[in-house]
Amino acid sequence: MNVERYQWCGIDDLSRIETAVVRLGEDSLRAHGGSVSTDYATAWHLKVGAGWVTEELAVSSFGDGWKRSLTLARDSSGCWSIDADHLGEVELPAPGLHDPSILHGAIDCDLGLCPLTNIMPVRRLGLLSHQVEPTPPHHAEADGTARQQYRFQRFPRAASCSRYRGS
């Protein structure tokens, strides 16, 4: 596996600095990273198996007087398990989902504010090399407050980059 380190800052919060170390395989990846801002810090790890299918995403966040963690794990039959915990007071819903079965069949996890988790559908659908029909993978917010579908489609190249938009 090829190992690369990436770093960027948030465009919505310039105090947030993100870092990811990515081990990229031919059709899989392993990664870990985190972010630090003036209000909170987050650490995460991601395991993606053959075919760019998410196997596990674990996230821990903490701020002044609070701590939260969430682990989403997918088995080979497409069923997800959720382990969530929190300590302290913060104005957010409890982490996790009340009914993990709503994720059955989902193959991706999207970690909000972290563009790395978009690599799985982009690679799996071949969007780097050709146009494909928009495809609706599933998405669930890590805090369990929303569930939606989104579509990836390729847009014309501008110079040497490709742009993708979830809708």
CB 46 within 8 A of CB 30: yes
CA atoms of 124 and 28, how far apart (whole Å): 10
Examine the pLDDT at 149 and tell me if it is beyond 60: no
pLDDT digits (tens, 9 = 90+) for 43-83: 999 999 999 999 999 999 999 999 999 999 999 998 999 99
Q: What pLDDT does residue 131 have? A: 60
DSSP classification of residue 94: P
Residue that has been written with the tokens 């790890």 in this structure? 45
CB 138 within 8 A of CB 147: yes
Torsion region of 65: left, alpha or beta (phi above 0 gives left; psi -120 to 50 gives alpha): left
- Cα distances (angstroms) measured from residue 112 to each of 18, 57, 126, 146, 156: 12, 12, 23, 12, 25
CA atoms of 21 and 1, how far apart (whole Å): 12
Examine the pLDDT at 166 and tell me if it is beyond 80: no
Looking at per-residue pLDDT, the higher value among 20 and 131 belongs to 20
Q: What pLDDT does residue 134 have? A: 55
pLDDT digits (tens, 9 = 90+) for 92-133: 888 888 888 888 888 888 888 888 888 888 888 877 776 656
Q: What pLDDT does residue 14 have? A: 86
The percent of residues in the chain predicted with pLDDT above 90, rounded, is 44
* Alpha helices, DSSP H, located in the chain: 119-124
Buried b (16+ CB within 10 A) or exposed e, 107-122: bbbbbeebebbbbbbe
**pTM score, two decimals?**
0.78
Report residue 11's pLDDT band, with 50, 70 and 90 as the boundaries: confident
